[in-house]
Amino acid sequence: MTDRTDLTDLDQLKADLLETALEAAARAGTLLSEGRPADLGVAATKSSPIDVVTEMDLAAEKLITGHLAEHRPEDGILGEEGASREGTSGVRWIVDPIDGTVNYLYGLPAWGVSIAAEYRGTTVVGVVEVPPRGETFRAVEGHGAFRNAAPLSCRPAAPLDRALIGTGFNYVQERRTAQAEVARRLLPLVRDIRRSGSAAIDLCDVAAGRLDGFYERGLHHWDYAAGALVAREAGARTGGRPGEEPGEELTIAASPGVFHDLQSLLEEFGAWHDG
């Protein structure tokens, strides 16, 4: 049994992790907003020639991991652009310095900084900083979700045919082709489908009631760790295939009244494989 002291210590740890995540995300957001060069170009590619990394991805991850190392030197880190460190504290940080890199490269506003903290394998803090919107999404396990100072709540249940659903498409051609077929089959059954280019923002938009649901195949842990916590703490359900947690195979978040029907259709349509 967990005693009151243990609970107090865990709540204090969560508060400390939230403060650190908010500071790191705000600093990275400022760097990315104010430091973006006019001639920003591609520094590298990853899974395909259109899956890009910019010099600002690398600079932002360096800033974030440096901040974490200074303030939480015993913690582990997993970053999208290669930062990796084993920790001894039981805490691991999951960092995506720019979620929506292609949007950032093109000057589109749907990009953000995503930072999550796990404690003993459970995500306990999530922060998604969205500078173009002037919005900071944050959540602490068991303590709700917020956009800036306002508490968040997902939309009330809606029939699936009136649900606005977000999704995304992978950068690998075979997977994109399969995802397009799933979207083709799903589109007539819902109100409409949106594709912002940032899974972290889409998950936060489920939390904020701007979407009724979201799904995507091929996401990595850093893409959804913070945003999925924000969605859950706003009352949404999250998962993957039936009975599974969100993951690379499939990530789903939706208001409780939409989740089951959306998950069932995605299972029927084979959204969890590449055809």
Instruction: Give 120's strand partners.
Output: none
Assess if residue 164 is contained within a domain.
yes
pTM above 0.85, yes or no: yes
Which pLDDT tens digit goes with each residue over 20-35? 999 999 999 999 999 9
**DSSP count for the chain of H helices, then E strands:** 7, 15
| Residue 51 binned pLDDT confidence (cut-offs 50, 70, 90) | low
Assess if residue 275 is contained within a domain.
no
Whether the CB-CB separation of 92 and 118 falls below 8 Å is answered with yes
**69 and 94 share one domain:** yes
Q: Are strands 91-99 and 112-119 parallel, antiparallel or unpaired?
A: antiparallel
Give buried/exposed letters for 111-130 (b at 16+ CB in 10 A, else e). bbbbbbbbbeeebbbbbbbb
Q: Which one-letter amino acid corresponds to residue 248? A: E
In this structure, what DSSP letter does residue 55 have? Answer: H
Angle between helices 256-268 and 173-186 (to 10 degrees): 120
Whether residue 5 is predicted with pLDDT greater than 90 in this model: the reply is no
**109 and 241 share one domain:** no
**46 and 169 share one domain:** no
Task: Output the pLDDT for position 40.
Answer: 87
Task: Output the pLDDT for position 262.
Answer: 98
CATH number at residue 99: 3.30.540.10
**120 and 176 share one domain:** no
Which pLDDT tens digit goes with each residue over 79-124? 988 878 899 999 999 999 999 999 999 999 999 999 999 999 999 9
- Tell which of 151, 186, 213 closes a domain: 151
Which pLDDT tens digit goes with each residue over 156-180? 988 999 999 999 999 889 999 999 9
- Tell which of 151, 186, 207 closes a domain: 151
**Count: domains in the chain:** 2
Assess if residue 273 is contained within a domain.
no
**136 and 225 share one domain:** no
Structure tokens at 80: 């999208």
Q: Which one-letter amino acid corresponds to residue 90? A: G
Share of the chain above pLDDT 70, in %: 94
d(CA 84, CA 78) in angstroms, rounded, equals: 5
**144 and 26 share one domain:** yes
**61 and 164 share one domain:** no
d(CA 76, CA 96) in angstroms, rounded, equals: 15
Task: Output the pLDDT for position 129.
Answer: 98
Identify the burial level of 41 via C-beta atoms within 10 angstroms of its C-beta, where 0-12 means exposed, 13-18 middle and 19 or more buried: exposed
Which pLDDT tens digit goes with each residue over 213-239? 999 999 999 999 999 999 999 999 999
**113 and 13 share one domain:** yes
Which residues form the domain of 98? Answer: 4-151
Whether residue 1 is predicted with pLDDT greater than 50 in this model: the reply is no
H-helix or E-strand spanning residue 26: helix 4-34
Task: Output the pLDDT for position 8.
Answer: 84
CATH number at residue 166: 3.40.190.80
